[in-house]
Each structure stands twice: as C-alpha cells, then as structure tokens.
Amino acid sequence: MLQKSLRLNPDSSSAHFSLAKAYEEEGNADGAIAELEQTLRLTPQHEKAHYVLAQLYRKVGKPELAYKELKAHEAVLRLKRDDSIRLLVTEAKSR
C-alpha cells in the first residue's frame, strides 16, 4: 500500500517516513535507512526522521552518523522552540 502511494506521489515525505517505519518493524534496517534519508532530502526539518535515523545508524554500527543525526535532531528542536517563542512574543505585542 505504501509503495503504491509512493509510486503515485514520490515526493511525499510522510509516505517515505511511514515506509521507513514499516521497514524498521520488519527488521529491514537498510530499507528503513534509505527511506529515512529520502524523507530528509524532501523535508530536512523532519524531526522524527532525524531521531529514528540516528537510532538506526547506532543499531547498524555507524556511531559517527548516529551522532550527526542526533545533532540535527537537536537543531530542529531548537528551531521549532525558537519559532514558538517568536510567535508568542509577536502575539503578546499585538495585544
């Protein structure tokens, strides 16, 4: 089903992420990693993809790549937090 969805819409980062999670559940780490990498090519700020990819890299013995993805995950979280703070400040100023 997910693969059919991707054939119809190959630029769907959510479909790639869902397929990655399915591969991960099946124990197909290589397939999951490939789909997560595609998810991040399409949506670089995909917080969950960075985190899951870090976990998979650690699992397959690639600690340097795991560290890089954890740092990317943290950076995305910081950006989202900063955006939320900016929005709250803007809303408070407009009252």
Q: Could you report the per-residue pLDDT of 25-34, keeping only the tens digit for each?
A: 999 999 999 9
Cβ-based neighbour number of residue 34 at 10 Å = 15
The residue written with tokens 């059919």 in the block is 4
Total domain count for the chain?
1
Using CA atoms, how far apart are residues 30 and 63, in angstroms rounded to an integer?
15
CATH number of the domain enclosing 73: 1.25.40.10
pLDDT digits (tens, 9 = 90+) for 46-79: 999 999 999 999 999 999 999 999 999 999 998 8
What pTM did the predictor assign? 0.83
Q: Which domain holds residue 45?
A: 2-93
- CA neighbor of 38 nearest in space, from 1, 76, 30, 55: 30
Using the Cα atoms of residue 25, residue 65, residue 10 and residue 14 in order, give the sign of their dihedral: positive
3-state secondary structure of 21: helix
